[in-house]
Amino acid sequence: KNEVEQSPQNLTAQEGEFITINCSYSVGISALHWLQQHPGGGIVSLFMLSSGKKKHGRLIATINIQEKHSSLHITASHPRDSAVYICAVLTDKLIFGTGTRLQVFP
Amino acid sequence: DVKVTQSSRYLVKRTGEKVFLECVQDMDHENMFWYRQDPGLGLRLIYFSYDVKMKEKGDIPEGYSVSREKKERFSLILESASTNQTSMYLCATTQNYGYTFGSGTRLTVV
């Protein structure tokens, strides 16, 4: 069993929809990262969380340490949000989920 | 802004060639990492370095080596490239739990 599980693996949405991507982990962590990867490969860090909730523009990330679960929400989704979203947890190293591929259609 | 630069976006090499992937950071960070990314497997750690001339094996070091002669530069070396090393390679650096990634090198070994 992977130490970091993401769901769903693939997600298709219409522009304007509210989107949720989930991440569950099974190890003790120092922090949790949400990353975005566009076609072409570069990875951008969206959030780093150790508790509670963070918001940046239309993106919101939450974490529940007791339940070992985090969610990434995108409000009013847009085609430019189409990307792979990766959850990664920091233990003595960074452990990555396999990603959620999001496609937002106009 | 922190910057991590990988020298090549796309690379095609022949089986048996020695391949160098270069990564340069401009933040004076001590920690640097090399990952490979494959469909369904996510990112996996190949090697990392906490200081100049220091290196540690990650989860999948076989077939790879690294070099860190200067703090800003961390090189990944494929001594004799094989087709199963066709992959996306990503360099990263970290400070205070935050990570910055390079834009990746997509390597194809034919």
pLDDT over threshold 70, residue A1: no
Q: Is B23 an 8 Å CB contact of chain A?
A: no
Gap from A52 CA to chain B (nearest CA, Å): 17
Residue-level pLDDT at B27: 87
pLDDT over threshold 90, residue B98: no
Spell out the residues 6+ positions from residue B53 whose beta carbon is closer than 8 angstroms to its own: B68, B69
Q: Is A35 an 8 Å CB contact of chain B?
A: yes
CB neighbours (10 Å) of residue B32? 26
Q: Compare B95 and A64 and report the one with higher pLDDT.
A: A64
Is B97 in contact with A90 (Cβ distance < 8 A)?
yes
List for chain B the helix, strand, coil content (%; round to 5): 5, 55, 40
Is B103 in contact with A35 (Cβ distance < 8 A)?
no
Q: Is A1 an 8 Å CB contact of chain B?
A: no
Q: Is B7 an 8 Å CB contact of chain A?
A: no
Spell out the residues 6+ positions from residue A76 whose beta carbon is closer than 8 angstroms to its own: A16, A18, A58
- Sequential DSSP letters for chain A: --SEEEE-SEEEEETT--EEEEEEE-S--SEEEEEEE-TT--EEEEEEESSEEEEETTEEEEEETTTTEEEEEESS--GGG-EEEEEEEESSSEEE---EEEEEE-
Q: How many cross-chain Cβ pairs, A to B, lie less than 8 Å apart? A: 50
The confidence band for B90, taking pLDDT boundaries of 50, 70 and 90, is very high
Residue-level pLDDT at B47: 97
| φ, ψ (nearest 5 deg) of residue A64 | -120, 100
Q: Which residue in A21, A12, A42, A29 sits closest to A87, CA to CA?
A: A21
Q: pLDDT digit string (tens) for A34-80?
A: 999 998 778 999 999 999 999 999 999 999 999 999 999 999 999 99
Gap from B104 CA to chain A (nearest CA, Å): 6
Q: pLDDT digit string (tens) for B57-70?
A: 999 999 999 999 99
The confidence band for B97, taking pLDDT boundaries of 50, 70 and 90, is confident
How long a stretch of residues is chain B? 110
Q: Compare B1 and B89 and report the one with higher pLDDT.
A: B89
